[in-house]
Structure 1
Amino acid sequence: MDVRGFNVKDAASKNQLETIGKTFLDGYAYVVEARSSAEAEERLETIDEQYRGFAYEGAGMGAVMLDSLAGSTKRLDGLLAGQGQHHIYMVYVGIGWAMARLPRFLWPDVTRTDPLLRWLILDGYGFHQAYFRTDAYVRDPARVHPFTWAGGPADYSLRAIDQGIGRALWFVGGTDPDVVTGLIRSYAEHRHADMYAGAGLAATYAGSVGEDELRRFAEQSGPHLPQLAQGAAFAAEAREKAGLTIGHTHLAARVLCGRTPAEAARICTDLMPGEDARATTGPSGEPAYETWRQQIAGRLTALPLTQKDALS
């Protein structure tokens, strides 16, 4: 935190975020050092449930880095064929980390990935850029960073990256809702919704924030409360799917979604497009992933998540 120049709210939050970073690196190392995906998995599964998802995120990055040297997809495929399938959201985010570190000619073939979930790869890419290139991506919020890839249209690619930037802002802001809100508001208004979604995901998954702070964050999100709730629901689904739901997941889901983690996760899975619709685009050209996100936000709002309900 000190090296990166991030805000330090208190010793507990600093320790939490630095532990997350260390666990990510552990997951990366387990995959790179292992002789097989199964051997890496054995070590990954020993990590405490609060942090195990971050280890799988690092493992996703490590698998892609290793495969790029070997000219194969053996380690990533092996990871996703085992326990990694339960952590697919986090593994996909890790792929984006690898892309941020690799030259473009070594990028993985993203057209082989799930067309719905592949946008999480750019979430990981955006997180990496905001975390490690903070001056360019956070402290200079007006700066434009063009991006193209084989995974989908450039316009939505930038939005997916913003979702990752928003998630990183939870770390840059040291889990302080006031600081994170200020960082989001420094960007152009049309980017706020995606960033609040990312920050809501991080506030729920990474935590280190109390109930009063979560309620204040929800209040400060204003018209973007549905997107904040959608991000929180994604986090609940990621933890529920992996069997890693912890006490903080219950707190954040209740405050930000007005639901239990299981209920918030079920909204995500019930609305998830089927296999035949995962690559479709909506009337305005948006991918199925964005339609899914909007439907989740709408369902949370309709059930009856209003700003008053969330804060009462």
Structure 2
Amino acid sequence: MSTVIGVLRKRFLAPSLASVGFAERGFPVTPTDATARLEAVPQAVVCGFEWAIEGAPLWEMERRLALIEPEQRGFAYEGATMGYTILDVMPGGGRDRTRELLEGPARPHIFLTYIGIGFAMARLPRPLWKNVLPELTGVAYHPTMSWLAVDGYGFDRAYFDTRRWVDEQAEPVPYPWAGRPEYFARAFDQGLGRALWFINGGDPAAVAAAVERFAEPRRADLWSGVGLASTFAGGADRAGLARLRRSAGEYYPELALGVVFAVKGRTYSGHVPAHTHLAAGVLTDLSVQELRAVSDRTEAADGDDTGELPLYELWRERIRSEFRPVARRAAS
């Protein structure tokens, strides 16, 4: 049940559905049925955020989110996590809303909830970032996959401040996430790559051109984000996906890496939409089941995280290596 304070928080903090739409953001997107499905993603995030920022209790949040169609439900959990994170870390918060959400009903959507934490980071002063990631008990892939919070931060900045982060190609100030400030910009770019898919309405040619405008050292991480978004969120038909695969060129292993992570997230949530099956086959020649097997056998989600690279990036590298022979055959 909403309180007066909760309603005021919603009024001043929650964006409107129109404000996250492609036209309102000024994105060069021609409206189609496919782009409407893409626009539904940020709208679902807004719904989850509105309910959470009002202070709805966990019991009520779970039942509201269950009303969202399965394809979009994980995105609504992103928004809910964003709202709870802001409430928890603001002065006077003093609650464990986010932890209870992630250890409870949001567990199947754990990958997306990390992204929701990143959305909250984009709206919080950096000194508060040290408090955004809760200590979770019994939750798989924690804290290894918490780098998706930085990915979410990158997505948010590109989506809502496109001129600076996409047009001007600004680079983020490093932050010692998980004690590794040197990896922060890479995880940020992975989220920025996901945003490019939305900003360009899932148009493969426009997305590829957008990636190409960035400096070469940034393109690999951008392409992995494109692969994840195109597979998880959809937006392109078979011909468009085939064109996207050709456009990736030497970055094909990165594109395929994103596909694998998207499949992992979808299968872990228990709902795999038709567009994910389509993208899996066109972009990698493998089925969803085969790509999940790739994810499982390369998994680096536990163990000592004090090596040269985060366990998160070690997992990514193992997946890339699975697709490098395919890239070499295509180039020969």
Asked if these proteins are the same fold (TM beyond 0.5), I'd say: yes
CA contact (8 A) 2:154 2:192 kept: yes
**One-letter identity of the residue aligned with 2:314:** T
| Aligned residue among 134, 150, 163 for 1:135 | 163
Which whole-Å deviations, capped at 9, do the CAs of 1:251-295 have from their partners, x for residues lacking one? 001112222222212321332225323x232xxx22111111010
1:88 paired residue number: 110
| Aligned residue among 102, 117, 120 for 2:148 | 120
1:280 paired residue number: 306
2:205 paired residue number: 178
How well do the aligned residues superpose, as a CA RMSD in angstroms? 2.0
CA contact (8 A) 1:34 1:40 kept: no
Within 5 A, what are the aligned runs for 1:300-311? Answer: 300-301=323-324, 305-306=326-327
**One-letter identity of the residue aligned with 1:12:** D
1:79 paired residue number: 101
Q: Verify: 1:56 aligned to 2:77, yes or no.
A: yes
1:106 paired residue number: 128
Q: Distance in 1 between matches of 2:54 and 2:205?
A: 40
Deviation, structure 1 residue 301: 4.0
Deviation, structure 1 residue 165: 0.2
2:51 paired residue number: 30
Q: Distance in 2 between matches of 1:179 and 1:234?
A: 23
Which whole-Å deviations, capped at 9, do the CAs of 1:50-104 have from their partners, x for residues lacking one? 1111111111111101212343351111111212111000000000000010112
Secondary structure at the counterpart of residue 229 of structure 1: helix
Q: Distance in 2 between matches of 1:177 and 1:307?
A: 22
**One-letter identity of the residue aligned with 2:274:** G
CA contact (8 A) 2:301 2:311 kept: no
CA contact (8 A) 1:184 1:195 kept: yes
Q: Verify: 1:237 aligned to 2:260, yes or no.
A: no
- More deviation, 30-39/219-228: 30-39
1:8 paired residue number: 29
Q: Percent identity?
A: 38
Q: Distance in 2 between matches of 1:148 and 1:256?
A: 33
1:293 paired residue number: 316
The verdict on how the C-alpha distance between 1:98 and 1:205 changes in structure 2, with shifts beyond 3 A counting, is same
1:261 paired residue number: 288
CA contact (8 A) 2:241 2:283 kept: yes
Q: Distance in 1 between matches of 2:330 and 2:108?
A: 32
Secondary structure at the counterpart of residue 303 of structure 2: helix
**One-letter identity of the residue aligned with 2:306:** T
Deviation, structure 1 residue 32: 2.7
Deviation, structure 1 residue 12: 1.8
The verdict on how the C-alpha distance between 1:307 and 1:37 changes in structure 2, with shifts beyond 3 A counting, is farther
Within 5 A, what are the aligned runs for 1:163-242? Answer: 163-242=190-269
**One-letter identity of the residue aligned with 1:102:** L
- Provide TM-score, normalisation by structure 2: 0.86
- More deviation, 198-207/18-27: 18-27
Uncovered stretches (5+) of structure 1, i.e. residues with no partner: none
Q: Distance in 2 between matches of 1:198 and 1:37?
A: 31
| Aligned residue among 233, 247, 251 for 2:278 | 251
Q: Verify: 1:68 aligned to 2:89, yes or no.
A: yes
**One-letter identity of the residue aligned with 1:129:** R
Q: Distance in 2 between matches of 1:25 and 1:61?
A: 10
Q: Verify: 1:20 aligned to 2:41, yes or no.
A: yes
Q: Distance in 1 between matches of 2:147 and 2:177?
A: 11
Deviation, structure 1 residue 147: 2.3
The verdict on how the C-alpha distance between 1:274 and 1:294 changes in structure 2, with shifts beyond 3 A counting, is closer
CA contact (8 A) 1:205 1:239 kept: yes
- More deviation, 250-259/12-21: 12-21
CA contact (8 A) 1:96 1:125 kept: yes
Which whole-Å deviations, capped at 9, do the CAs of 1:35-62 have from their partners, x for residues lacking one? 4222201111221111111111111111
Aligned length: 303
Q: Distance in 2 between matches of 1:232 and 1:238?
A: 10
The verdict on how the C-alpha distance between 1:230 and 1:274 changes in structure 2, with shifts beyond 3 A counting, is closer
